[in-house]
């Protein structure tokens, strides 16, 4: 029942979907105190907008953009791939992709929870083979929809486990691209504590390990929503080589994500529990004397 409904929604104009999404975003914000509290706290603690009046305006835009992120999924996941692809009105930095492919060392594409990262995956996978790392959702019935939506073009999916990591490594060694959400909290043993917008966040070390073992260059990817449903502008920016030290590498990775977010803070998913303490991981207080985050765990 849901799949046909999403397929029907895919035919609606993007401007309509974004308008509907704005309403959805406000509705979820007003009906879910826990969601609203986390979004407010993360946005305020980031310091991207310290002036109270400007913060309130940014909060309203952030709530609406979160709804747009949900409402645009049918068009990206289940719409005609060519039409969805055409929604990317401009792509900046494609020369970096071509240079990486010519070097035949693979390519690591990092898409934070910013803008429409789903359209970025579709656009890229229609142009080059990609293996995309994903975490199966807690709501099990969502997983088939996620797989169907993301495994389009020349994309393959790899789960966030040892088998998935091996798939990523093999893809890089074949000279192909991989896609990773760099601000997704990893599991125990797969991360280190590094500051993100001034607060300790458990940050993946996978990107640094893969880059070091293969020599693959790393690009930061951002698909920015354009006003009034006009489409998206995709940018690809090189990330300088990461340090060998895992903590320093994680700090540089977080700094790169921060820099992208500051370009368009209203399109970041501030409701994501970025500062949680994963099960089995010692909190920041136990590692270097850093203060434990109140939202952890």
pLDDT single digits (tens) 152-211: 889 999 998 899 999 999 999 999 999 999 999 898 889 999 999 999 999 999 999 999
What is the per-residue pLDDT across 20-59, written as a single tens digit (0 to 9) for each?
Answer: 999 999 999 999 999 999 999 999 999 999 899 999 999 9
> Which is higher by pLDDT, 296 or 279?
279
> Which residue matches tokens 């700090």?
251
pLDDT at res. 7: 83
- Bridge partner list, 196: 199
Kindly state the percentage of the chain with pLDDT values over 90.
80
Q: What's the gap between Cα 239 and its chain centre?
A: 16
User: Parallel, antiparallel, or unpaired for β 199-204 and 191-196?
Assistant: antiparallel
Looking at the predicted structure, is the pLDDT value of residue 288 above 60?
Answer: no
Looking at the predicted structure, is the pLDDT value of residue 256 above 60?
Answer: yes
> Which residue matches tokens 């969805």?
84
pLDDT at res. 183: 95
pLDDT at res. 296: 41
Looking at the predicted structure, is the pLDDT value of residue 287 above 70?
Answer: no
> Which is higher by pLDDT, 66 or 141?
66
Kindly state the percentage of the chain with pLDDT values over 70.
95
Instruction: Burial-class residue 200 by CB neighbours within 10 Å (0-12, 13-18, 19+).
Output: buried
Instruction: Burial-class residue 118 by CB neighbours within 10 Å (0-12, 13-18, 19+).
Output: buried
pLDDT at res. 233: 98
Burial 132-163 (b: 16+ CB within 10 A, else e): bbbeeeeeeeeeebbeebbebbebebbebeee
The two most distant CA atoms of the chain are separated, in Å, by 53
Tell me how far apart the alpha carbons of residues 41 and 47 are, in angstroms, rounded to a whole number: 10
pLDDT at res. 153: 86
Six-digit token pair at 213? Answer: 């073992």
What is the per-residue pLDDT across 79-112, written as a single tens digit (0 to 9) for each?
Answer: 999 999 999 999 999 999 999 989 999 999 999 9
Average pLDDT, the chain: 92
Q: How many CB atoms lie within 10 A of CB 174?
A: 12
Tell me how far apart the alpha carbons of residues 229 and 30 are, in angstroms, rounded to a whole number: 24
SS3 assignment for the chain: CHHHHHHHHCCCCHHHHHHHHHHHHHHHHHHCHHHHHHHHHHHHHHCCCCCHHHHHHHHHHHHHHHHHHHHCHHHHHHCCHHHHHHCEEEEECHHHHHHHHHHCCCEEEECCCEECHHHHHHHHHCCCCEEEEECCCCCCCHHHHHHHHHCCCCEEEEECCHHHHHHHHHHHHCCCEEEECCCCCCCCCCEEEEEECCEEEEEECHHHHHHHHHCCCEEEEEEEECHHHCCEEEEEEEECCCCCCHHHHHHHHHHHHHHHHHHCHHHECCCCCCCCCCCCCCCHHHCCCCCCCCCCC
pTM score of the predicted model: 0.91
């Amino acid at each position: 029942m849901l799949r046909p409904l999403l397929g029907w929604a895919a035919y609606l104009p993007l401007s309509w979907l974004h308008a509907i999404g704005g309403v959805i975003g406000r509705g979820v914000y007003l009906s879910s105190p826990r969601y609203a509290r986390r979004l407010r706290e993360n946005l305020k603690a980031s310091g991207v907008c310290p002036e109270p009046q400007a913060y309130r305006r940014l909060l309203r835009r952030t709530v609406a953009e979160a709804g747009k992120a949900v409402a645009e999924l049918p068009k990206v996941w289940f719409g005609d791939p060519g039409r969805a692809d055409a929604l990317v009105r401009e792509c900046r930095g494609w020369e970096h992709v071509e240079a990486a492919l010519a070097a035949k060392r693979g390519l690591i594409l990092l898409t934070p929870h910013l803008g429409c990262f789903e359209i970025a995956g579709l656009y890229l996978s229609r142009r080059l083979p990609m293996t995309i790392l994903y975490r199966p959702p807690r709501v099990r019935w969502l997983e088939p929809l996620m797989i169907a939506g993301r495994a389009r073009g020349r994309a393959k999916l790899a789960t966030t486990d040892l088998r998935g990591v091996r798939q990523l490594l093999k893809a890089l060694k074949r000279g192909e691209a991989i896609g990773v959400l760099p601000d997704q909290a990893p599991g125990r043993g797969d991360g280190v504590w590094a500051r993100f917008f001034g607060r300790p966040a458990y940050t993946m070390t996978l990107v640094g390990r893969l880059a070091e073992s293969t020599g693959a260059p790393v690009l930061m990817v951002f698909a920015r929503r354009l006003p009034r449903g006009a489409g998206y502008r995709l940018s690809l920016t090189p990330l300088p080589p990461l340090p060998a030290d895992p903590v320093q590498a994680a700090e540089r990775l977080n700094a790169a994500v921060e820099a992208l977010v500051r370009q368009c803070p209203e399109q970041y998913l501030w409701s994501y529990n970025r500062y949680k303490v994963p099960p089995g991981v010692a909190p920041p207080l136990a590692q270097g004397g850093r203060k434990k985050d109140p939202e952890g765990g």
